Structure 1
Amino acid sequence: MVNEEEIIVEEAKQWLEGRGQEDSTSHDIEFLPLCGIKVLEAKMGWLLCNLKVHPHLADRNGNCHAGAIATIIDVVGAAVISTYGGNIKVSVDFNISYFSTVKIQEELEIEGKVVANREKVSLNVVEVRRKEDGMLLALGKQWMAQINAGQTVRTRL
C-alpha cells in the first residue's frame, strides 16, 4: 500500500522530470537547461538527479552558461521542497557559488536536500557535481517561502 508521503515524493519527481520534456508546460528558460533530467532517487527532503549538458546551453566560450546552472539549481530546489506537502514555494534568497566551469556534454549529478522546513519558509541546498569524478562544480543555497494563491504580497517599497 502506498502512503501519502510516497505519493507526494512521486509527484515532485514527476514534476521535475516534466520540466525537461518537450511537451512540458514549462517555459523555455526551464525546459532548455532541464532537458533530459532524470530523477534517480527521491524521498522526502532529498532528490538525486542525473543530467547531460546539451550543446544549446553553451556560452561564447563553449562552456555551459552560468544562468543554465542557476535554473537547474532553482528548479531542483523547488522540487525537493515540494516533497514536504506538494507545494511549490517562491525564492526569497538565492545564493550560488560556482567552483568550476561545466563543459558541454558533461554528465552531471545533482543532489538536492532540504536543510530546514518550517510552516512558511524552507531552506534547500543543491550540489552540482561532475558525475565522472564527483568534483563539486556549483553549490546553491535557497530560502523559499509559501505564498497562498490569491494572496497579496505587501512590501515596504
Structure 2
Amino acid sequence: MARLKNTFWQRNKYKLSGLILVLPFWFLYQSLNPEFPPALESRQAGPFLVTPMPFDHKPPYQHHDEFVKDFLLTFNQGDIADIRQAYLNIGPSPLPLATLQQGESGILHGSRHGQHVHAIAKPKLAAEDRIWLVIEDWQGNQYQAQWPVPTALFLP
C-alpha cells in the first residue's frame, strides 16, 4: 500500500477536477447570452436606411496589421442586392473608394439580415472622428452616411 503525505495538494486536487467540469457550462452560458451595446441611430444613405451597432465598447484592435473595430449593420430600407460595394471607416473624413479597394478591411459582408464589417480605424479614436459608410451601387452612384463615434469607445 502506498503511503501518501497529507499535503494541501493531496487533500484538494479533486476540487480542481470539479472546477474543470463546471467551467464549460459557464462559457456556454456566456456565449448564449451576449451583451451588445445599443445600436446607433438610423441614417439615410441614398435609397438605404442603415443602422450600425458596435459589437462592444472596447477600442479598436489590430487585425492583419490594421486597426479595426467590429460593427453589425442592418439595412432597414433598400435592397442589399443593389449594392456593388460598401465600406465602413472611422476617422475625420471618409476614405476614397480607390483606397478602400486596396485591402480587405472595411468591406461589408453578410446576408440581408445583417452585414458584418471590420471598420478601418486608428489605434486611438478622437472626438472629431466620425463613422463613415460609403456605398456604391451597380450604376456607379455613391452614397455616404456618417455617425458620431460613441463616447464609450474613446480610450481614457
TM-score scaled by structure 1? Answer: 0.29
More helix by share: 1
Structure with bigger strand share is 2
Report the TM-score, using the length of structure 2 for normalisation: 0.29
Structure of higher CA gyration radius: 2
